[in-house]
Structure 1
Amino acid sequence: MALRAAEWHKLPVSLTELCINTTLRCGQSFRWRKSAEDEWSCTLHGRILSFRQDPDHLHYRAIFPSSTLPTPPPSNLPSASQSVVSDDDDTLALIKHYFNLGVDLGQLYEQWAAADANFKKRAPKFTGVRMLRQDAWEALVGFICSSNNNISRISGMVHNLCLHYGPLIGYIGKEPYHDFPTPDALAHPQVEAHLMKLGFGYRAKYIYKTAVMVQEKGLAWLEGLSNPECPPFGVEPTPAGELLEGGREGYRRAHEELLALHGVGPKVSDCVCLMGLGWSESVPVDTHVWQIAQRDYRFGKGKHSSLTTATYTAVANYFRKLWGKEAGWAHSVLFTADLKTFSERLVTKTEVKEEKVTVKTEPDRSSNALATTAIKPETRKRIKRPSVSEQQGVEVKAEVVTRSKRRKA
């Protein structure tokens, strides 16, 4: 097999069709990290993938491990001995699969905007948010870690899982890159205690027990829950006309079977269905999404005054009816548009209101993001500062207060 030094390649993809700086940071995957300025890297399917982007192209490079891994090279570039690409390299196919590039995203945005005035209002600032097609096992473990957590801390946990239990693939500079651990690697009895020491808390037991269950059932069982139209990488999709079980019934079966695993409730199950199993009609509803439903879609009154099991189903069904088959994707665009991480950078002077508003940031107890609510001026004096325990795991930024108009005497 001929080998050659890895080089950067480019794929014609506009920022409106894919924005990696948003897509890789919005809480879908928790393993991507900056390897250089404007460069993102992660291990996928036995290689290190690195991405850069300009307005018209996605630049990518694949680093495969050599037979014997070298010591970390001194420079910030991968060494020639480990940076190899085989003639039968399937990296381009993997990239197209992972980023769902077979779907015309511009057309989807137009479809969702035509059906929903709120989407039409908020989405134009967040073009290029694609639904990742991740491995089901990685998505399952990642979203078990997401319980009562924020994106930064989830990323740290997933990084520790790879560092301690995943196979070493190679280095970028002196930084090691490990692939995601297998169920077998996490099914040993000592794993739970070790994860507790690493700060996983109650999630340590969930991860260990779920790894044991998946090991016993086999990865084929988990991957068999995938949408046959969107199978795992390397598996040919089933033509729509030949589907024996698809649509809502296939999604419901996958959702219910995942609920039997430790640490998997309705929201985690829907996240795995959407981002790991290809069920794009799956709509995860957490506290953050519930706030969007209340604010923009008139939920929160009568029998839907709080986020209960019945309300969860009602919100998800409403969005499925509104946005159609790809409802989970549309929901993720609005979720991203509402994240404080991204919304702050979009505020301009013309968007700042003159009314004085205090912004309170608090932990979202059932989401992988931060819940943010605006407090009316007349109630702000009654607000208590959150305790240290309430702020745990949450980056609290300085509140921005606009000047209020002075009333004339």
Structure 2
Amino acid sequence: MKIYEKDNSVILEGVADFEPKHIFECGQCFRWIKEENGSYTGVAKGKILNVYREDNKIYLNNTNLEEFNSIWYNYFDLGTNYTEIKNTLKNMDEYLDKACDFGWGIRILKQDGWEMLISFIISSNNRIPMIQKAIENLSREYGKYIGQYNGKDYYAFPTPQELNKASQEEIRACQTGFRDKYIKSTAENIVTNNENISEYTNLNTDECIKQLLKFNGVGPKVGDCIALFGMQKYDTFPVDVWVKRVMQEFYVAEDMSLPKIRTFAIDKFGELAGFAQQYLFYYARELGIGR
């Protein structure tokens, strides 16, 4: 991989396993919006970034090499060999073989644990456009203003302290729906107990999820998502409607419960369960498998 800076951009040449559409549309993130030119603009780590792929080049626009080395290299998990992960999964069975080929450019982003906690509370029984709108509204109302990019204002995701200043009614006004009470309760809990959510990454997966489940609005599936996308717990397996469908289509009986599907998958895929989940989820949703 060749990396260089040019005109307020960092360009990656020859990077393997990196397709913006696969990364930003595989269900793991909500702040990356597709632009008319096919690029994606998002906010992460308090920065605005635009990502575009052309042939074998990835353009990271609105950044520089210093930020790339301190933020984006880790955020996009560029130190992990996804070719190796896919080869291991592809050798497990024909379904993963097809799923890994279909979503070949997926990388699991290393996102902020606190942001994932609130984002996936919002995601419960919700559609992606509505999740994105609620997160954007909370950021605009309570997060710090970062700046403009292509004429649009961008805001950082609010800290627990910033979000805790909002009342339940004000949180609901950001289009969070019935989740307003869960968001308020969670922010209050963290501020009152002076908790540092990022420390959950140091716990083993079971203990991490146990800690997450103590927050109102966090059930088993939401807890698994937060652990996977915000705490880098790759040996867990969130089961939503699409994952349930693909697992029933290829692996398990139709009447198997969600907890049993999760256990089956973790036993089968082991330490790579989270990666398998992402390839299978994207494959099932994009192709409508098990509808």
Quote the Cα distance in structure 2 between the aligned partners of 1:298 and 1:44.
Answer: 37
Counterpart of 1:231? none
Counterpart of 1:387? none
TM, length-normalised to structure 1: 0.66
- Equivalent residue letter for 1:343: L
Post-superposition offset of 1:292: 1.6
Counterpart of 2:193? 217
Counterpart of 2:3? none
1:49 lines up with 2:49 in the alignment: yes
Counterpart of 1:364? none
Q: SS at the partner of 1:298?
A: coil
1:81-100 equivalence runs, <5 A:
89-100=66-77
1:180 lines up with 2:157 in the alignment: yes
Write 1 or 2 for the structure with the bigger share of helix: 2
**Is the 2:209–2:227 Cα contact (8 Å) retained in structure 1?**
yes
Distance 1:251 1:140, change over 3 A: same
Q: 2:112 aligns with which of 129, 135, 141?
A: 135
**Is the 2:48–2:154 Cα contact (8 Å) retained in structure 1?**
yes
Distance 1:13 1:314, change over 3 A: farther
Q: Which runs of 5+ in 2 are unaligned?
A: 1-5
**Is the 1:35–1:172 Cα contact (8 Å) retained in structure 2?**
no
Counterpart of 1:278? 232
Quote the Cα distance in structure 2 between the aligned partners of 1:275 and 1:168.
Answer: 25
1:298-337 equivalence runs, <5 A:
298-301=252-255, 304=256, 311-337=257-283
Q: 1:258 aligns with which of 212, 232, 246?
A: 212
Counterpart of 1:29? 29
Post-superposition offset of 1:288: 2.2
Quote the Cα distance in structure 2 between the aligned partners of 1:48 and 1:198.
Answer: 22
Query: Percentage identity across aligned positions?
Result: 27
Counterpart of 1:287? 241
Q: Which whole-Å deviations, capped at 9, do the CAs of 1:29-78 have from their partners, x for residues lacking one?
A: 10012355122222222321121112322211335xxxxxxxxxxxxxxx
1:7-406 equivalence runs, <5 A:
7-14=8-15, 17-35=17-35, 37-62=37-62, 89-188=66-165, 190-220=166-196, 222-226=197-201, 228=202, 250-301=204-255, 304=256, 311-339=257-285, 342-343=286-287, 373=291
Q: Which whole-Å deviations, capped at 9, do the CAs of 1:357-393 have from their partners, x for residues lacking one?
A: xxxxxxxxxxxxxx962xxxxxxxxxxxxxxxxxxxx
- Equivalent residue letter for 2:278: S
Q: Which whole-Å deviations, capped at 9, do the CAs of 1:124-175 have from their partners, x for residues lacking one?
A: 1220111111000111111001110111211111111111111111101321
**Is the 2:139–2:155 Cα contact (8 Å) retained in structure 1?**
yes
Distance 1:130 1:6, change over 3 A: same
**Is the 2:49–2:60 Cα contact (8 Å) retained in structure 1?**
yes
Distance 1:154 1:108, change over 3 A: same
- Equivalent residue letter for 1:133: K
Q: SS at the partner of 2:200?
A: coil
Aligned residue pairs, count: 287
Distance 1:184 1:10, change over 3 A: same
TM, length-normalised to structure 2: 0.91
Q: Which runs of 5+ in 1 are unaligned?
A: 64-84, 229-244, 305-310, 345-370, 374-409
- Equivalent residue letter for 2:237: V
Distance 1:174 1:372, change over 3 A: farther
**Is the 1:142–1:154 Cα contact (8 Å) retained in structure 2?**
yes
**Is the 1:116–1:322 Cα contact (8 Å) retained in structure 2?**
no
Q: Which whole-Å deviations, capped at 9, do the CAs of 1:178-232 have from their partners, x for residues lacking one?
A: 11111111112x4310222332211111111101111223352x11110x4xxxx
Distance 1:219 1:95, change over 3 A: farther
